[in-house]
Amino acid sequence: MGKDLSSALRPVVVMTILFAALLGIGYPLAMTGLGQLLFPAQANGSLVRATDGAVIGSSVVGQAFTTDRYFQTRPSAAGKGYDGLASSGSNLGPTSQALVDRVKGDVARMRAQGIAGPLPADLVTASGSGLDPDLSPASAQAQVARVARVRGLAPERVAALVAQQTEASLLGDPHVNVLALNRALDALR
Protein backbone atom coordinates (compact mmCIF):
# COMPACT_ATOMS: atom_id res chain seq x y z
CA MET A 1 0.00 0.00 0.00
CA GLY A 2 2.83 2.41 0.87
CA LYS A 3 4.54 1.76 -2.46
CA ASP A 4 1.19 2.14 -4.22
CA LEU A 5 0.69 5.53 -2.62
CA SER A 6 4.08 6.89 -3.55
CA SER A 7 3.84 5.61 -7.11
CA ALA A 8 0.48 7.38 -7.45
CA LEU A 9 1.82 10.69 -6.22
CA ARG A 10 3.48 11.90 -9.42
CA PRO A 11 0.53 11.17 -11.77
CA VAL A 12 -1.90 12.70 -9.29
CA VAL A 13 0.01 15.97 -8.96
CA VAL A 14 1.18 16.32 -12.56
CA MET A 15 -2.15 15.35 -14.10
CA THR A 16 -3.92 17.91 -11.90
CA ILE A 17 -1.60 20.65 -13.12
CA LEU A 18 -1.81 19.60 -16.78
CA PHE A 19 -5.58 19.29 -16.84
CA ALA A 20 -6.03 22.53 -14.91
CA ALA A 21 -3.96 24.31 -17.54
CA LEU A 22 -5.73 22.65 -20.47
CA LEU A 23 -9.34 22.72 -19.24
CA GLY A 24 -9.32 25.60 -16.79
CA ILE A 25 -7.23 28.09 -18.77
CA GLY A 26 -6.60 26.88 -22.33
CA TYR A 27 -10.12 25.77 -23.22
CA PRO A 28 -12.06 28.81 -21.95
CA LEU A 29 -9.50 31.25 -23.36
CA ALA A 30 -9.48 29.56 -26.75
CA MET A 31 -13.28 29.59 -26.83
CA THR A 32 -13.28 33.25 -25.83
CA GLY A 33 -10.91 34.06 -28.69
CA LEU A 34 -12.98 32.09 -31.20
CA GLY A 35 -16.26 33.50 -29.92
CA GLN A 36 -15.01 37.08 -30.07
CA LEU A 37 -13.76 36.49 -33.60
CA LEU A 38 -16.78 34.66 -35.03
CA PHE A 39 -19.76 36.01 -33.07
CA PRO A 40 -18.65 39.25 -31.39
CA ALA A 41 -22.17 40.65 -30.87
CA GLN A 42 -23.50 37.57 -29.07
CA ALA A 43 -20.27 36.86 -27.20
CA ASN A 44 -20.50 40.31 -25.65
CA GLY A 45 -24.07 39.99 -24.45
CA SER A 46 -26.22 40.82 -27.51
CA LEU A 47 -26.34 44.45 -26.42
CA VAL A 48 -28.99 46.75 -27.84
CA ARG A 49 -28.01 50.37 -28.50
CA ALA A 50 -30.12 53.48 -28.97
CA THR A 51 -29.53 55.69 -32.01
CA ASP A 52 -27.03 57.74 -29.96
CA GLY A 53 -25.01 54.61 -29.21
CA ALA A 54 -25.95 54.34 -25.53
CA VAL A 55 -26.50 50.76 -24.33
CA ILE A 56 -30.18 50.33 -23.46
CA GLY A 57 -30.23 46.60 -22.73
CA SER A 58 -29.63 43.14 -24.11
CA SER A 59 -31.88 41.54 -26.67
CA VAL A 60 -31.87 38.26 -24.73
CA VAL A 61 -32.20 39.52 -21.14
CA GLY A 62 -35.36 41.06 -19.71
CA GLN A 63 -35.55 44.51 -18.12
CA ALA A 64 -38.26 46.01 -15.94
CA PHE A 65 -41.18 47.88 -17.51
CA THR A 66 -43.54 49.25 -14.91
CA THR A 67 -45.18 52.35 -16.40
CA ASP A 68 -48.56 52.34 -18.11
CA ARG A 69 -47.23 53.62 -21.43
CA TYR A 70 -45.20 50.47 -22.02
CA PHE A 71 -46.08 46.82 -22.10
CA GLN A 72 -45.25 45.72 -18.57
CA THR A 73 -43.01 42.77 -17.79
CA ARG A 74 -43.75 39.83 -15.51
CA PRO A 75 -43.16 40.08 -11.74
CA SER A 76 -39.50 39.39 -10.95
CA ALA A 77 -37.75 37.90 -7.92
CA ALA A 78 -34.28 38.98 -9.08
CA GLY A 79 -33.17 41.44 -6.40
CA LYS A 80 -35.64 44.32 -6.36
CA GLY A 81 -36.79 43.25 -9.84
CA TYR A 82 -34.81 42.48 -13.00
CA ASP A 83 -31.49 42.80 -11.16
CA GLY A 84 -28.85 41.51 -13.59
CA LEU A 85 -26.52 40.65 -10.70
CA ALA A 86 -29.02 38.62 -8.69
CA SER A 87 -30.94 36.27 -11.00
CA SER A 88 -33.50 34.22 -9.06
CA GLY A 89 -37.00 32.83 -8.97
CA SER A 90 -39.28 33.41 -6.00
CA ASN A 91 -38.95 29.75 -4.92
CA LEU A 92 -42.38 30.03 -3.33
CA GLY A 93 -44.14 26.67 -3.25
CA PRO A 94 -47.64 25.94 -4.54
CA THR A 95 -49.24 26.30 -1.11
CA SER A 96 -47.27 29.34 0.00
CA GLN A 97 -49.33 32.14 1.59
CA ALA A 98 -46.65 34.61 0.46
CA LEU A 99 -47.29 33.51 -3.13
CA VAL A 100 -51.04 33.87 -2.70
CA ASP A 101 -50.62 37.38 -1.29
CA ARG A 102 -48.28 38.47 -4.06
CA VAL A 103 -50.50 37.14 -6.84
CA LYS A 104 -53.56 38.72 -5.17
CA GLY A 105 -51.81 42.10 -5.25
CA ASP A 106 -50.81 41.76 -8.89
CA VAL A 107 -54.27 40.60 -9.92
CA ALA A 108 -55.76 43.68 -8.20
CA ARG A 109 -53.25 45.89 -10.05
CA MET A 110 -54.27 44.36 -13.39
CA ARG A 111 -57.95 44.81 -12.59
CA ALA A 112 -57.27 48.48 -11.76
CA GLN A 113 -55.74 48.85 -15.22
CA GLY A 114 -59.00 47.62 -16.68
CA ILE A 115 -57.93 44.07 -17.59
CA ALA A 116 -60.95 41.80 -17.19
CA GLY A 117 -61.44 38.05 -17.45
CA PRO A 118 -59.11 35.25 -16.39
CA LEU A 119 -55.51 36.52 -16.41
CA PRO A 120 -52.87 34.60 -18.39
CA ALA A 121 -50.75 32.75 -15.83
CA ASP A 122 -47.43 34.30 -16.86
CA LEU A 123 -48.67 37.87 -16.32
CA VAL A 124 -48.90 37.51 -12.53
CA THR A 125 -46.19 34.92 -11.83
CA ALA A 126 -42.46 35.43 -11.36
CA SER A 127 -40.15 33.72 -13.85
CA GLY A 128 -37.36 31.30 -12.99
CA SER A 129 -34.55 33.76 -13.66
CA GLY A 130 -36.28 37.00 -12.70
CA LEU A 131 -34.93 38.22 -16.04
CA ASP A 132 -37.54 36.77 -18.40
CA PRO A 133 -37.34 38.87 -21.58
CA ASP A 134 -40.74 37.70 -22.84
CA LEU A 135 -44.48 37.76 -22.35
CA SER A 136 -46.99 35.28 -23.73
CA PRO A 137 -48.99 36.75 -26.64
CA ALA A 138 -52.10 36.62 -24.41
CA SER A 139 -50.41 38.68 -21.70
CA ALA A 140 -49.33 41.28 -24.25
CA GLN A 141 -52.78 41.43 -25.85
CA ALA A 142 -54.33 41.93 -22.42
CA GLN A 143 -52.34 45.17 -22.11
CA VAL A 144 -53.18 46.54 -25.58
CA ALA A 145 -56.21 48.60 -24.50
CA ARG A 146 -54.26 50.33 -21.71
CA VAL A 147 -51.20 51.10 -23.82
CA ALA A 148 -53.35 52.40 -26.69
CA ARG A 149 -55.35 54.62 -24.31
CA VAL A 150 -52.29 56.14 -22.60
CA ARG A 151 -50.53 56.76 -25.90
CA GLY A 152 -53.61 57.93 -27.79
CA LEU A 153 -53.17 55.24 -30.44
CA ALA A 154 -55.81 53.13 -32.13
CA PRO A 155 -56.05 49.79 -30.27
CA GLU A 156 -56.07 47.91 -33.60
CA ARG A 157 -52.64 49.33 -34.48
CA VAL A 158 -51.18 48.31 -31.12
CA ALA A 159 -52.74 44.87 -31.34
CA ALA A 160 -51.30 44.44 -34.83
CA LEU A 161 -47.89 45.40 -33.49
CA VAL A 162 -48.11 42.69 -30.84
CA ALA A 163 -49.05 40.13 -33.47
CA GLN A 164 -46.17 41.27 -35.63
CA GLN A 165 -43.67 40.98 -32.75
CA THR A 166 -44.87 37.52 -31.67
CA GLU A 167 -42.31 34.79 -32.29
CA ALA A 168 -43.82 31.41 -32.97
CA SER A 169 -41.71 28.49 -31.81
CA LEU A 170 -41.85 24.82 -32.61
CA LEU A 171 -39.82 23.87 -29.55
CA GLY A 172 -41.24 26.18 -26.90
CA ASP A 173 -44.26 28.41 -26.49
CA PRO A 174 -44.98 31.49 -28.64
CA HIS A 175 -43.63 34.60 -27.00
CA VAL A 176 -43.13 38.35 -27.43
CA ASN A 177 -39.83 40.01 -26.53
CA VAL A 178 -40.94 42.94 -24.38
CA LEU A 179 -37.95 45.20 -25.08
CA ALA A 180 -38.32 44.74 -28.84
CA LEU A 181 -42.08 45.29 -28.59
CA ASN A 182 -41.71 48.48 -26.58
CA ARG A 183 -39.04 49.84 -28.90
CA ALA A 184 -41.33 49.18 -31.84
CA LEU A 185 -44.07 50.92 -29.88
CA ASP A 186 -41.89 53.99 -29.40
CA ALA A 187 -41.26 54.01 -33.14
CA LEU A 188 -45.01 54.08 -33.92
CA ARG A 189 -46.46 57.48 -34.63
Look at residues 135, 104, 106, 137 and name the one whose alpha carbon lies nearest to residue 122: 135
CB of 3 to other proteins, least distance (A): 11
Give the CA distances from residue 158 to residues 27, 57, 70, 90, 182, in Å, rounded to whole numbers and listed in that order.
Answer: 48, 23, 11, 32, 11
The answer to whether 188 contacts other proteins (rule: CB under 8 A) is no
Q: Which stretch binds other proteins (CB under 8 A): 59-67, 143-151, 158-166?
A: 59-67
Does residue number 113 form part of the binding site for other proteins (CB under 8 A)? Answer: no
Instruction: Write the DSSP symbol of residue 172.
Output: S
| Cα(116)–Cα(104) distance, integer angstroms | 14
Considering the complex, what minimum distance in angstroms separates the CB of residue 23 from other proteins? 5
The reply on whether position 66 binds other proteins by CB under 8 A is: yes
Q: Which stretch binds other proteins (CB under 8 A): 17-25, 143-151, 157-165?
A: 17-25
- Which range in 141-149, 154-162, 167-175 contacts other proteins by CB under 8 A? 167-175
Alpha helices, DSSP H, located in 39-96: 40-43
